[in-house]
Chain A
Amino acid sequence: KAGVTQTPRYLIKTRGQQVTLSCSPISGHRSVSWYQQTPGQGLQFLFEYFSETQRNKGNFPGRFSGRQFSNSRSEMNVSTLELGDSALYLCASSLGQGAQYFGPGTRLTVL
């Protein structure tokens, strides 16, 4: 079975731009969660989608948004990028409430 895939793997943007990241979960998994990882804050939960519905949301500003499609693929969008948004963005998929499996991440650099 293929693992969680994320595209693109690397992105360089400038302040004020917006960006869309994509995550394809393991086949059959309906839950997709997103995390931000930075050296200063560690791994922080952004949001979780289950069957196209946002089930939980972390403490991030409204510039961070996401969605999930009927095939369980998910996208997250960050608008009006700030320097502090530079991070590794990870998505994880799960069948329901069990083990979560992470993708390789998207490294976002904001200049």
Chain B
Amino acid sequence: KQEVTQIPAALSVPEGENLVLNCSFTDSAIYNLQWFRQDPGKGLTSLLLIQSSQREQTSGRLNASLDKSSGRSTLYIAASQPGDSATYLCAVAGGATNKLIFGTGTLLAVQP
């Protein structure tokens, strides 16, 4: 049974700092991995999708990496801003359907 873990559960950093969020999963037979952000009381915003054959994806200040063999992904946020404050979730999809297994999230606070 696939389990997804995110560490740390919460993180507070000063504005401008670079930071890394971690995601680990127990079953390496994934189809893809997706990172989302969620603002309080809102839906999920897709940030990056990494297919199982890829090692990393970049979008603006965000870079996500995937190491399937070790069951790990990281989300790197460069030059953090207060607007980056949100909960960040990673989710893995395996097999022939779109069922996502989510981690518990990392609550990020960027202090001005």
Inter-chain contact A100/B46, CB cutoff 8 Å? yes
Q: How many angstroms from the CA of A8 to the CA of B42 in the assembled complex?
A: 14
Interface size on B, residues (CB 8 A): 23
**Set B45, B46, B89: member contacting A43, Cβ < 8 A:** B89
Binding site for B on A (CB under 8 A): 4, 6, 31, 33, 35, 42-45, 48, 50, 55-56, 58, 88, 90, 92, 94, 97-105, 107
Complex CA–CA separation, A56 to B101 (angstroms) = 13
The answer for the CA separation of A42 and B101 in the assembled complex, in Å, is: 10
A48 touches B44 (CB 8 A): no
* Chain A residues touching B, majority SS: strand
Report if B100 contacts A (CB, 8 A): yes
Known: A42-B104, A56-B97. A97 touches B44 (CB 8 A): no
Contact of A90 among B44, B49, B96, B98 (CB under 8 A): B44
- Which residues of B sit under 8 angstroms from A105, Cβ to Cβ? 42-43
Q: How far is the CA of A100 from the CA of B100 in the complex (A)?
A: 9
Q: Mark B73-104, 1 if CB is under 8 A from A, else 0.
A: 00000000000000001010100111111101
